[in-house]
């Protein structure tokens, strides 16, 4: 074993990760490769025992079983056809208002978020269903694109969110508690988005024209019947999953299994449950889960090596030593996570950075649940922050050229929503009960 100072090891480990990513290696291989090299050179003979224990811990973590089940549920809901019918009913109900289609898209995004919980699936689903309708009604293309990106990313915040499933054991926080803490912030952001659309279209009617009267001459009773029948199935599915968690009937893993079964029954009810859909859903679930597990393994090796070499103390002392004060240090951490979110998948950020920054939040005296939710909402901002934003490129990838929407148009559309997320973060700093009220009420923390 070669002796090395913690400061040098910190530089080498972070530098190795950055070099690996710049050279084009997948994040999982960069993390595990740097960890193996540092372990062989500086870790001593016990490093492989440490790697083994960490790998064993990650693959036997019971709550992680919820990850593939929630992914399966989300993909199956996407394929069931329920969202097309729900958007159609919201379209009839709100189309007569200025900006009504955009508001309907955001409401659909909230419902989809609570049923799907995956960014890519939500953005693509909303893009395929809602964007043609808005463009066809002469909506402002930038506003329509931004609405879809913002509404789609709510899926990673509003429970059941796979990000929260991964975040919980990583930060040693109950997943059920995270679910409760995420509800009000998720609805707060959705409300800010809807308020922005309503005000903008009231001031600039051509950005979101109302549906012509002759196209919405449907009896009120029929509209409400369509809304009720299309809304009931996903609401029942959501209650089956979240209700069992919130009322202590089942743990998140068992609730996720109920959700997967419920999604299949939903697809059966809409006539979309067939061998092809089951096979495709299972394959996509295996693909997503395998990717997440590779990153989880690499991240656990990295954090184990990082902490064993004393780098965690170096990072904590460096950040807390900045003459910025408590809130200045907090803002610095949020800024670093925002920048990382533009370049690295959220799984890597949660599994690598959360174990490192959570002790810093504890040292600064922040409530751990509040700090966790601020990180999650901040990552929501990073998903739509150009130039490297996952939501933007998910949407751009499904837009046909004849629509006349390029990447710059989408970027112009997301800028107001970025500002609204920043407003939401500020409100959660000023009023921490936005995050803590529901968990305190339900769990008597």
pLDDT in tens, 139-185: 899 999 999 999 888 877 888 777 888 898 888 898 889 989 998 99
Average pLDDT, the chain: 83
CA distances from 443 to 176, 240, 367, 382, 440 (A): 10, 19, 15, 31, 6
Return the sign of the alpha-carbon dihedral for residues 126, 128, 134, 139. positive
The three-state DSSP-derived secondary structure of 346-386 is: HHHHHHHHHHHHHHHHHHCCCCHHHHHHHHHHHHHHHCCCC
DSSP secondary structure letter of residue 84: H
* Total number of domains in the chain: 1
Structure confidence at residue 140 (pLDDT): 93
- Residue bearing the bigger pLDDT, 250 or 188: 188
Q: Is residue 125 part of a domain?
A: yes
- Per-residue pLDDT, averaged over 9-21, amounts to 87
Residue among 422, 439, 404, 364 at smallest CA distance from 144: 404
Tell me the two tokens of residue 328: 């200045």
Angle of helix 141-153 relative to helix 100-115, nearest 10 degrees, comes to 20
Q: How far apart are alpha carbons 80 and 96 in whole angstroms?
A: 28
Q: Is residue 16 part of a domain?
A: yes
Report yes or no: 302 and 347 within 8 Å, Cβ to Cβ.
no
Reply yes or no on whether the pLDDT at 215 is more than 70: no
Tell me: cis bond preceding 247? Omega within 30 of 0 counts.
no
E strand or H helix that includes residue 236: helix 220-238
Reply yes or no on whether the pLDDT at 252 is more than 60: yes
Q: Is residue 1 part of a domain?
A: no
Reply yes or no on whether the pLDDT at 197 is more than 90: yes
- Per-residue pLDDT, averaged over 254-267, amounts to 85
Half-sphere exposure of 441 (CA within 13 A, CB side): 10
Tell me the two tokens of residue 375: 């990180």
Q: How far apart are alpha carbons 379 and 388 in whole angstroms?
A: 13
Task: Quickly state the pLDDT bin for 389 (edges 50, 70, 90).
Answer: confident
Q: Is residue 378 part of a domain?
A: yes
Three-class DSSP category at 416: helix
Return the sign of the alpha-carbon dihedral for residues 107, 132, 79, 156. negative
Half-sphere exposure of 118 (CA within 13 A, CB side): 23
> What is the domain extent for residue 296?
6-443
- Greatest CA separation for the chain: 79
Structure confidence at residue 194 (pLDDT): 93
Structure confidence at residue 444 (pLDDT): 60
Structure confidence at residue 191 (pLDDT): 94
Structure confidence at residue 113 (pLDDT): 66
Q: What is the residue-wise DSSP string for 99-145?
A: THHHHHHHHHHHHHHHH---HHHHHHHHHHHHHHHHHHTT--HHHHH
Q: Is residue 69 part of a domain?
A: yes
Reply yes or no on whether the pLDDT at 45 is more than 80: no
């Amino acid at each position: 074993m070669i002796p090395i100072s913690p400061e040098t090891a910190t530089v080498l480990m972070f530098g190795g990760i950055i070099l690996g990513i710049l050279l084009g290696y997948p994040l999982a291989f960069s993390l595990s490769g740097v960890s193996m090299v540092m372990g062989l050179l500086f870790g001593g003979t016990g490093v492989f025992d440490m790697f083994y224990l960490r790998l064993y811990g990650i693959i036997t973590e019971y709550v992680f079983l919820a990850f593939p089940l929630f992914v399966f549920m989300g993909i199956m809901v996407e394929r069931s056809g329920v969202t097309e019918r729900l958007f159609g009913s919201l379209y009839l109900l709100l189309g007569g208002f200025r900006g009504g289609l955009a508001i309907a898209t955001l409401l659909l995004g909230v419902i989809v978020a609570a049923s799907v919980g995956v960014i890519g699936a939500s953005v693509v689903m909303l893009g395929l269903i809602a964007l043609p309708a808005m463009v066809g009604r002469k909506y402002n293309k930038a506003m329509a694109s931004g609405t879809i990106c913002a509404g789609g990313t709510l899926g990673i915040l509003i429970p059941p969110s796979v990000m929260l499933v991964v975040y919980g054991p990583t930060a040693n926080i109950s997943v059920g508690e995270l679910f409760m803490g995420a509800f009000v912030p998720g609805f707060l952001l959705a409300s800010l988005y809807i308020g922005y659309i309503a005000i903008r279209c009231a001031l600039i009617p051509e950005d979101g024209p109302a549906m012509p009267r002759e196209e919405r001459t449907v009896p009120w009773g029929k509209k409400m019947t369509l809304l009720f029948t299309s809304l009931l199935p996903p609401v029942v599915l959501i209650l089956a999953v979240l209700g069992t968690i919130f009322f202590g009937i089942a743990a998140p893993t068992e609730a996720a299994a109920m959700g997967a079964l419920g999604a299949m029954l939903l697809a059966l009810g809409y006539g979309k449950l067939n061998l092809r859909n089951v096979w495709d859903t299972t394959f996509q679930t295996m693909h997503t889960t395998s990717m997440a597990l590779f990153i989880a393994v690499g991240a656990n090796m990295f954090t184990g090596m990082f902490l064993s070499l004393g780098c965690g103390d170096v990072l904590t002392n460096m950040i807390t030593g900045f003459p910025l004060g408590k809130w200045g240090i907090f803002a610095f951490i949020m800024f670093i996570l925002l920048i990382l979110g533009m370049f690295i998948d959220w799984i890597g950020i949660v599994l690598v950075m959360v174990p490192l920054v959570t002790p810093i939040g504890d040292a600064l005296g922040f409530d751990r649940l509040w700090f966790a939710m601020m990180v999650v909402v901040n990552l929501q901002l990073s998903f739509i922050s150009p130039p490297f934003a996952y939501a933007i490129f998910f949407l751009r990838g499904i837009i046909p050229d004849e629509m006349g929407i390029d990447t710059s148009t989408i970027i112009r559309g997301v800028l107001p929503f970025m500002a609204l997320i920043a407003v939401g973060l500020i409100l959660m700093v000023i009023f921490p009960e936005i995050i803590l009220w529901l968990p305190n009420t339900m769990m008597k923390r």
